[in-house]
Amino acid sequence: MAGSPPRTPRGPDVPELPEVEVVRAGLAPAVTGARIEGVEVLDVRSLSRHTGGPEDFEATLVGRTLGVPARRGKFLWVPLEGEIGAHGSDMHRPEALLAHLGMSGQMLVREPGAPADRHTRIRLLLDQPALHPSGHGPVEVRFADQRLFGGLAVRPTVDGVPDQAAHIALDPIDPAFDASAVARRLRMRRQGVKAALLDQTLVSGIGNIYADEALWRSRLHYATPGERLTQARALALLADVRDVLDLALAEGGTSFDAQYVNVNGQAGYFAHSLNAYGRGGLPCPRCGSTMVREPWANRSSTRCPRCQRRPRGLAV
């Protein structure tokens, strides 16, 4: 039945856009307007995206004020204001603290002295006046990452976007997202629609979970070439993507294990609303046919063999 908990998939596919957006929204009240009082790098491997070592990272950040957190696709960043302490670079160059959560990264907001979190790699001690009547409120932000695919970095920005995220396309929930233009670009592609949806230069923030969900809604086989879609069908697919992302956001994202949590360490609940991903061997919530899980691009795709038939003439 619809909403049945999915079978545990092989390996995490989160965080995707909804999970990163949940983290961004949770960080905003804790960091916006806060001053960085201290930085502690516990594992230098979480600075692989930063140009310079731990000392440079600390000197670049201490004394700076944090702006409103922003996101593009799976990239999350916080604009940096104020002078650059001992960093010694051009203090007028716009910069941001960039976070990429990788596959297991977490941004956790804690009170100073709170019990340690597992796999904490970097700690930021902030003074957040907005959180305390006296005008001074200490807050600790911890970057934790079990699998070490994510990390933090200070990066220059152009038009408000860090250089490492400049190639990333807008995502379907961005107010500036042009669905008609993206649909036209999608229809110019010979590759399958799922591969196109996962191409972050076409549309960002979509991973394996939400691609499977959107394709199930659109009754499309993952290998359907983009060039076979009409403009109306392509727009309908993008609308389904948007709906899936909105639903996941409303439920706090998707959690299969403790690797994805929000800034308070809480899991999301969208895993209980999945109709396709992780449901191989279970009945299709729409027609009752047994869902199939098939190898795809070193991952897997789950679909309904009746609702999402392979297009005619398409080689297996």
Q: CATH code at 75?
A: 3.20.190.10
Give the pLDDT band of residue 33 (cuts 50, 70, 90): very high
Distances in Å between the Cα of 23 and the Cα atoms of 47, 96, 230, 266 are 20, 17, 36, 11
- Is 122 in the same domain as 230? no
Give me the mean pLDDT over the 93-115 stretch.
91
Residue in this structure with the two tokens 């009547």, named with its chain if needed: 133
pLDDT of residue 78 exceeding 50: yes
Whole-angstrom distance, CA of residue 16 vs CA of residue 173: 13
Whole-angstrom distance, CA of residue 311 vs CA of residue 2: 26
Tokens of 75: 């990239």
pLDDT of residue 84 exceeding 70: no
Range of the domain at 42: 32-165
Instruction: Tell me if 21 is assigned to some domain.
Output: no
Q: What is the largest CA-CA distance in the chain?
A: 70
* 243: region left, alpha or beta (phi > 0 left; psi from -120 to 50 alpha): alpha
What is the number of structural domains in the chain?
2
What beta strand segments (E) does the chain contain? Answer: 35-41, 65-66, 70-72, 75-81, 95-100, 105-110, 120-127, 138-145, 151-158, 161-162, 292-296, 299-303
| pLDDT, tens digit, 9 for 90 and up, residues 198-216 | 999 999 989 898 899 999 9
Give me the mean pLDDT over the 17-35 stretch.
89
User: Of 95 and 278, which is predicted with more confidence?
Assistant: 95
- Is 44 in the same domain as 152? yes
pLDDT of residue 264 exceeding 90: no
Instruction: Tell me if 17 is assigned to some domain.
Output: no
**Residue that is last in its domain, among 165, 198, 214:** 165
Do 9 and 277 touch, CB atoms closer than 8 A? yes
- Is 114 in the same domain as 198? no
pLDDT of residue 154 exceeding 80: yes
Residue in this structure with the two tokens 């294990």, named with its chain if needed: 257
Beta bridge partners of 35: 65, 127
**Residue that is last in its domain, among 139, 165, 191:** 165
pLDDT of residue 68 exceeding 60: yes
Tell which residue, 142, 108, 118, 149, has the closest CA to residue 11. 149
- Is 209 in the same domain as 281? yes
- Is 37 in the same domain as 154? yes
Cβ count near 49 (within 10 Å): 16
Q: Torsion angle of alpha carbons 108, 113, 117, 123, nearest 10°?
A: 60
Q: What is the pTM of this model?
A: 0.82
Give the pLDDT band of residue 5 (cuts 50, 70, 90): very low
Lowest mean pLDDT among 4-13, 227-236, 241-250: 4-13
Q: What is the pLDDT of residue 132?
A: 72
- Is 48 in the same domain as 158? yes
Q: Give the mean pLDDT of the chain.
A: 86
User: Of 112 and 261, which is predicted with more confidence?
Assistant: 112
Whole-angstrom distance, CA of residue 67 vs CA of residue 228: 44
Tokens of 31: 């960091």
Give the pLDDT band of residue 129 (cuts 50, 70, 90): confident
- Is 204 in the same domain as 287? yes
Give me the mean pLDDT over the 281-291 stretch.
97
Instruction: Tell me if 11 is assigned to some domain.
Output: no
Residue 47: CA count within 13 A, CB half-sphere:
18
> Three-state DSSP class for 284?
coil
Tell which residue, 234, 170, 163, has the closest CA to residue 202. 170
Give the pLDDT band of residue 83 (cuts 50, 70, 90): low
Q: Which residues are annotated as catalytic?
A: 15-16, 74, 299
